[in-house]
Amino acid sequence: MYIVYLIFKYDFKNVLFLKNLYLFRIIMLNLRCYYRYYCIILLIIFLVLCFNVYLVLFFSRDETSIKIAPTVKYNATYLAAQNILKSLRILDKDFELPIKTSQSSILREINILLSNLKLKINGDIDLYSSTINVINENGLMPLYGSPYLGSTINLLKTSKIIKTCYSIKGTQLKLLLTFENKQEVLFKPKWYLESEVIHGNVYAGKDRYNGEILAFYISLILGFPRVPIVVKRILDSTELQETATIGLKKTMYINSTTKETCIYGKCYYCKREDPICTKSLRLEGAAIFYLPSFINLKQYLHPWRRSYKENQRTRWETDNNFCDYIKTNYDLERILDFIDIAMFDFIIGNGDRHLYEVMERFNNSILLIDNGKSFGNPYEDNIDILAPLYQCCLIRQKTWDRLKTLKGGKFTEILQNMLDVHETISLITLPHYYALERRMKIIYASVVMCQKKSNESIFK
């Protein structure tokens, strides 16, 4: 009993020991009845005591002798996200108050842009050439748009198609449409309903046609006129069959059950088992203005690109000082470009910017091409898309001024007004509208956080 007392005093929290002590007491009380079996009982008691001694020694041994797994290092993006969310919780209420149009030159400029979207020019004008002629080093058009913008959008929706073939570039099915005036347009078909939520990682699923269209309008609102004009275009099955090239026809067939025209095309992931088919003999999609070859587009790897491999992180995801490395390889203007792009991508939910394109003809100005992986999940905010912003803690003053002008619901109000001009069917759901406003606030919180931790001005 004295041994039991010592063990109990040594480790009174051991639940197993208490249970065994209770068993021991029961055995002792009934020992008289089972005296002839005392040898067996003593053996059991001895084994129970030995087991308890082992447990006590195991749980009380020196922890330094235990081989501990290396401490898991929280990656840089996780820590930044936590700090940004803390900043968001204490964000000044002023960021929720809208600004009157009469009080902002930026909002008046956006109103001119809206007027240009509504404007329809009559007469014998080469709208495509006029649209191309406004391209300069500041983007594909002025911040207030161009007088030809609305008419060009309408022309992209209605021009007669004389040839349809597949585009072999990229990983997904795309068609290349040629109009009567030889203007080419890239067509991305509609794979999902606008209300469908894409689950998985940030680049999951196929391209969203509505994401391409919405990205165009949002780029104009944010003051980044670097997305080629994109419109919603509907092709009918007869038009497809009559204009398809021989190569495309080889990848087309009529579904025997639905009688719909199906296309699987030719691309990295294209296969007959996964075609896109017309619905009610119509194929919806995004028609993207094909930029002229003379601007000399050139692609580069984005320094904040992802690994696209499970359980493999890139340097920017683990290194809090990654921007120091970037500053030794890129000049300030290019870094500010990356930060502008990051905010744009974060707002639309595009985490697939592995490449970026520049116009060599126009001082290597960056363009925002291929935005199809946007608007996938309105309920998730992938804050790591903002890595260039919160790691470098820099932002253009003109960008910040414009972002602040769009606070208090102004951003989504302007977007809705723009979409109402040319799009009769909604391209965006209410949850996505909420997501746009929420992500704007997260950007505000990120900038405020950077201001607090920086010893010098973050505005350039």
Catalytic residues: 352
CB half-sphere exposure, 11, CA atoms < 13 A: 18
Q: Cβ distance 134 to 146 under 8 Å?
A: yes
Instruction: Tell me whether residue 188 is annotated as binding.
Output: yes
Q: Cβ distance 167 to 186 under 8 Å?
A: yes
Distance CA 134, CA 122 (A): 19
Q: Closest by alpha carbon to 410, among 171, 110, 65, 183? A: 110
Instruction: Tell me whether residue 291 is annotated as binding.
Output: yes
Hey, is 122 helix, strand or coil? coil
Could you tell me which residues are beta bridge partners of residue 179?
Answer: 161
Instruction: Tell me whether residue 107 is annotated as binding.
Output: no
CA dihedral 127, 128, 130, 134 (to 10 degrees): 140
Distance CA 243, CA 227 (A): 28
Instruction: Tell me whether residue 294 is annotated as binding.
Output: no
Instruction: Tell me whether residue 362 is annotated as binding.
Output: no
Instruction: Tell me whether residue 184 is annotated as binding.
Output: no
Instruction: Tell me whether residue 290 is annotated as binding.
Output: yes
Instruction: Tell me whether residue 299 is annotated as binding.
Output: no
CB half-sphere exposure, 42, CA atoms < 13 A: 5
Instruction: Tell me whether residue 22 is annotated as binding.
Output: no
Q: Which structure tokens are listed for 184?
A: 């080419």
Query: Please, is 215 exposed, middle or buried when counting C-beta atoms within 10 Å of its C-beta (0-12, 13-18, 19+)?
Result: buried
Question: What does each C-alpha distance from 213 to 61, 110, 141, 156, 164 come to in angstroms?
Answer: 65, 18, 16, 13, 21
Terminal alpha carbon distance of the chain? 79
Binding-site positions read 172, 188, 207, 288-291, 357, 370
Binding-site positions for ATP read 172, 188, 288-291, 357, 370
Binding-site positions for Mn(2+) read 207, 370
